[in-house]
Structure 1
Amino acid sequence: MLIRRRNGHDISSSEITPEGVYHDRRRFLQTASSLALGSLILPWEDVLAAPEKYAYADLPGVKPNPAYQDKDLKKLITKPEDFSSYNNFYEFGMDKEDPKANSRNFKTKPWTIKVHGLVSKPAEYQLEDFLKPFELEDRIYRFRCVEAWSMVVPWVGIPLHRILSRAQPTSGAKYVLFKTLMDPAQFPAQKSKILDWPYQEGLRLDEAMHDLTLLTVGAYGKVLPNQNGAPLRLIVPWKYGYKSIKSIVSIELVSAQPKTSWEIRAPDEYPFYSNVNPEVPHPRWSQKTERVLGTGFFSAKQKTLMFNGYTDAVASLYSKFDNRKLY
């Protein structure tokens, strides 16, 4: 099997979304912020401490990471209204429109994150204290959903490896297990048997420590909307979207490969690794192409990139594995 591997920044003009193109992202963010709340001068930890009050507020002090500010990706940035209105967040419902409609009263304050397991420094944090020592970064990433749609988002967050390094994993730690909040009063679908709740996901420790893996608190320079995983979600851009767990309350270092929610539900369709590979089809559809969110159902599809375009950065993590078994 021959797979043409392209650099993550090698994008042809035919792949550029024809609508929602943002040639001047700085002007876009300034306009959006003026429409939302005007000039916000609060430190970002105060904004995160009161998400209901400052929903969609600017996150002050965010610095673009130049390693993830590719000029071609900037041209592809998804409209924020598409990003916030078409989601998978099954705790709020099965339809793509359900998360926005059903998450309006979701309370993210107070929010406690527990870092525990095989670490030398386990701890529980309130969100603002959990992130306060670190600098927030703006990173533009591709994002690929298993249902064959994709988007490009300027995420705001902190590399996960900084959080894990602070906790000091022990020699026995091989994997990281993440869990979403369990609260059926706020997550109505947790009363159903769609999945075994709470939602959980996992990564190998080397995947979690990779610089691309981002703990995210915002997008488009603003606080992360409830329907997109507020107040804290994971972004692993070379994997299918369901690996990027939302509303995280637990980060546990473990020795054995953990079972993940969709792996438990349908192991033949959603295996543990779930790396983007256009050459390995999902049992019910092809992964060779994808449709860019916001371009319309009848728009032309584009080719899916190996590892979602991040081959150069992450392929070495899997050099000793059978690629077909990893997807």
Structure 2
Amino acid sequence: MIIKRNPNGIDLPFSSEITPREVFESRRSFIKQLAVGSIASSALLEMASREAFAQSPSAQKLVGKANPAFLSTEKPTSYKDATTYNNYYEFGTDKADPATNASTLKPRPWTVAIEGEVKKPMVLDLDTLLKLAPLEERVYRLRCVEGWSMVIPWVGYSLSALIKKVEPNSNAKYIEFITLADKTRMSGLGSPVLEWPYVEGLRLDEANHPLALLSFGMYGEVLPNQNGAPVRVVVPWKYGFKSAKSIVKIRFTSEQPRTAWNIAAPSEYGFYSNVNPEVDHPRWSQSSERRIGEDGLFARKRKTLMYNGYSDVASLYKGMDLKKFF
């Protein structure tokens, strides 16, 4: 499936604009990178980054080939903002807590178990997951239910590649993501705000959409701990809490999973949680958003776009009452 240019006025990207972290933060470096990067072999870059990642968890580079169908001409959020303003309640409920507390997370060794309604259940280590499909760099908008947004260059591949490998059977209708819950590493697990482990889920056709990403990195580097290392999903047309972090188990089910925020507050957080400016949170409007690092306290907010601007997903919800299935 080809992702078309956005009819809402936000153009999809030029691959030359998607560069490693240091290039985003320096225009001169950006120009130099264009001159060199256009000649470099993306296959060699990907191979080198995978080898570095396999050798040491401290190896930071993780390069993917820029996919022009999944990019954005919008200015990316700075790396600093994207890694210090986070929701990751396992490390605390304040936005600064994850960056402060997540150093205790150990992203290696790591395995992800795939089970449930599949023909080929398996347990995959991180290196095997990395080699499952070619790594791509994609720039996605991420919209938080609290009313703020970011633009982040992710590194990963379509979740559908993993789904295809395990071969869901005819009973599989949903996919459930279960995240790490280790009290020895995660200081926030003593909080009663949510049930642990954190669980999220998608309908199987949503998970198979090309936009749904299994991510291992951002800004040309491996995922920082506070952003969900070492593997997470990114579902850009849904509110950010749907994009489960630090995944340890993926389960295929015949029934809709019970998800963390839907259990905690079902009237506020529906299972679908598509970005929808017409469906307000009970305590605030969703019609506008504040772009982190761009808008001052009193600056005019951006208008929130249906499905966060990713209109290709609309066909997934044809005939559904999106105010009922919020």
Q: Normalization by structure 2: what TM-score?
A: 0.87
Q: Does 1:307 align with 2:307?
A: yes
User: Contact conserved, 1:141 with 1:153, CA < 8 A, in 2?
Assistant: yes
Distance (Å, rounded) in 1 between the aligned partners of 2:165 and 2:261: 29
SS at the partner of 1:326?
Answer: coil
Note closer, same or farther for the CA distance 1:66–1:189 as it changes in structure 2 (3 Å cut): same
Distance in 2 (CA, whole Å) between partners of 1:138 and 1:26 is: 9
- Structure 1 residue aligned with 2:71: 69
Could you tell me which runs of 5 or more consecutive residues in structure 1 were left unpaired when the two chains were aligned. 1-5, 13-22, 35-39
Question: Is 1:284 equivalent to 2:283 in the alignment?
Answer: yes
**Shift of the alpha carbon at 1:66?**
1.4
Distance (whole Å) between structure 2 residues aligned to residue 47 and residue 113 of structure 1: 20
Q: Distance in 2 between matches of 1:173 and 1:29?
A: 42
> Which residue of 1 is the match for residue 162 of structure 2?
163
Deviation at 1:125, TM superposition (A): 1.2
Q: Counterpart in 2 of 1:102?
A: 101
Q: Do 2:153 and 2:218's aligned partners in 1 also have CA atoms closer than 8 Å?
A: yes
- Alpha-carbon separation, structure 2, partners of 1:27 and 1:196: 36
Deviations, residues 270-324 of structure 1 (Å, cap 9, x unaligned): 110000110111000000000001123322201000000012x101100121011
2:180 corresponds to:
181
Measured at CA, do residues 117 and 287 of structure 1 come closer, stay the same or move farther in structure 2, by a change above 3 Å?
Answer: same
Quick check: 1:86 aligned with 2:91?
no
| CA shift digits 1:51-94 (9 cap, x unpaired) | 6422xx2214x101110123x23xx2111110001000000000
Contact 1:150 1:293 in 2 (8 A): yes
Given that residues 202 and 258 in structure 1 are in contact (C-alpha distance below 8 angstroms), is that contact kept between their aligned partners in structure 2? yes
CA 1:43–1:149: 2 relative to 1, 3 Å:
same
Give the counterpart letter for 2:61 in structure 1.
D
1:105 deviation in Å? 2.8
In the alignment, which residue of structure 2 is the partner of 1:297?
297
The structure-2 alpha-carbon separation of the partners of 1:31 and 1:243, relative to structure 1 and needing over 3 Å to count, comes to closer
1:275 aligns with 2:280: no
Report how many residues are paired.
300
Secondary structure of 1:230's counterpart equals coil
Change (3 A) 1:148 1:320: same
Structure 2 residues without counterparts, runs of 5 or longer: 30-43
Deviation (angstroms), 1:30: 4.5
Query: What is the Cα deviation at residue 9 of structure 1?
Result: 6.1
Of 32, 44, 49 in structure 2, the residue corresponding to residue 44 of structure 1 is: 49
The 2-side partners of 1:235 and 1:188 are apart by 24
Aligned ranges 1:124-203 → 2 under 5 Å: 124-203=123-202
CA distance in 1, matches of 2:21, 2:94: 29
2:32 match? none
Q: 1:326 Cα shift?
A: 2.5
The answer to whether the 8 A contact 1:224-1:230 is kept is yes
Deviations 1:8-53 (A, max 9, x none): 66139xxxxxxxxxx965486458799xxxxx97733334335642
Tell me which residue corresponds to 1:226. Answer: 225
Amino acid at match of 1:233: R
**SS of aligned partner of 1:84:** helix
In the alignment, what sits opposite 1:37? none
Classify 1:180/1:48 alpha carbon distance in 2 versus 1 (closer, same or farther; 3 Å). Answer: farther
CA contact (8 A) 1:50 1:109 kept: no
Paired letter, 2:181: M
- Asked if the contact 2:175–2:204 (Cα under 8 Å) also holds between the matched residues in 1, the reply is yes
What's the TM-score once normalised by structure 1's chain length? 0.86
* Contact 1:8/1:310 (8 A) holds in 2: no
Task: Decide whether aligned partners of structure 1 residues 66 and 265 sit closer, same or farther in structure 2, where only a CA change above 3 A counts.
Answer: same
Question: Aligned Cα RMSD in Å?
Answer: 2.2
